[in-house]
Structure formats: C-alpha cells, structure tokens
Amino acid sequence: QQQVKQSPQSLIVQKGGISIINCAYENTAFDYFPWYQQFPGKGPALLIAIRPDVSEKKEGRFTISFNKSAKQFSLHIMDSQPGDSATYFCAASLDYGGSQGNLIFGKGTKLSVKP
C-alpha cells in the first residue's frame, strides 16, 4: 500500500526527443507527488511536484501528468538534452503535518540522452 512503482528502469532518448517516465501508487491518501533529479555523486533535487487537485503541471520542458482515478502520474521531458541525463525518482507522500517530508520513492529511472 505504501509502494510507488516506477518504470522504465532505464531510458535512452535522442537529443530533442521526449522522455516519458511513469509511476503508479496504491495509497489513495497520498496527496503530494514530487519528481526528483539526481546526478551522480549528488543528492536528489526537486524538479517539479503536483498535487491531485490538478491533472497537469508544466514547468519549462518538464510536465507532470496526473491521473487520479488510475493512480498514476508521469513525467514528460520535452526536447530532451544531454544535460538531462540523470536518474529520476518519482515520490509520493501524505501532505499533512510533517508527513510531507516522509517521501516514498520509486526505484528510479536512469535517463541517457544521446547527442
């Protein structure tokens, strides 16, 4: 019930292409869904986040699509660039009190963008 399932495990995309990473969750009480980007040797950094009252959120080339009924959300990276090559983690948490920081992470997707 507390799991967040992420796919694919790895992804290779050509420069300029669209990268799509999918996540699914089980706990319907989750109400905060962030995506984190992690470069080798660095800690995860917040990329973009969404709450279930909206179906889509866009920030620059990054878009989260959220399907509450299917309990799924996805990250789309438009015009993918070699600098986007990193590991991406989806996460979910309960947004009340201090629980927003108790993030349940997916297993990560290693994205490689080929020039």
Partner 1 sequence: EPEVTQTPSHQVTQMGQEVILRCVPISNHLYFYWYRQILGQKVEFLVSFYNNEISEKSEIFDDQFSVERPDGSNFTLKIRSTKLEDSAMYFCASSFDSDANTGELFFGEGSRLTVL
Residues that bind partner 1 (CB under 8 A): 31-32, 36, 41-46, 49, 51, 89, 93, 95, 97-108
Nearer to partner 1, 83 or 97 (CB): 97
Residue 88's nearest CA partner among 13, 18, 35 is 35
Nearer to partner 1, 13 or 92 (CB): 92
Task: Name residues whose C-beta falls within 8 Å of residue 42's C-beta, 6 or more positions apart in sequence.
Answer: none
Q: Least distance from C-beta 98 to partner 1, angstroms?
A: 4
Rounded CA-CA distance 75/70 in Å is 15
Rounded CA-CA distance 74/30 in Å is 15
Q: Least distance from C-beta 59 to partner 1, angstroms?
A: 13
Q: Least distance from C-beta 14 to partner 1, angstroms?
A: 26
